[in-house]
Amino acid sequence: MTVLLLISLKSYQARSQTISSSTGKQLQSDTSKITVPIIYIKDANAKLIERLYLLKINKQQDSIINLNKLYINEQSNIIKDFQNKVVNITNDNNKLKTEVVKQKNKSNIFIGTTVISLIVVTITLLIK
C-alpha cells in the first residue's frame, strides 16, 4: 500500500507544475489532491532498507550453505578413500596370513624330512 502511494506521488509530481520534496505537504494539480503523511514515507523507507539488508543476508547465507555443501562433499570423499584403504590393507593382511601359514607348513615339512633323514642316517650308522 505504501509503495503504491509513493509511486503515485512520484508520478503526480512529474505531472504537476510545482514539484516539491516528499515531506508530507499537500500538493495540488488540475484534477486531484493528494496528501502523503511523512509517517508512511518513513515506513516505506524503512521497509526498503530492511529489504536490501535481507537480500544481503540471504546471499551470505546461500554462500555459507554452498561452502558447507562443499565441505561435506570433501569430507565424504576423504572418508570413502580412507574406507577403501582400510579394505585394501585388510585384504593384503589376509593374503600375508595365508602366505605365513604356507611358509610354516613348508618349514614343518622341511623339519620333518630333516628329522627323518637324521634318524635313517643314525640307524644305518648303528647297523654298520
Residue 28 has pLDDT above 90, yes or no: no
**What average pLDDT does the chain have?**
83
For 33, the enclosing helix (H) or strand (E) is strand 33-34
Write out pLDDT tens, residues 31-55.
666 778 888 888 888 888 888 899 8
Q: 22: burial class by Cβ within 10 Å (0-12, 13-18, 19+)? A: middle
Report domain extents, the chain: 1-36, 37-127
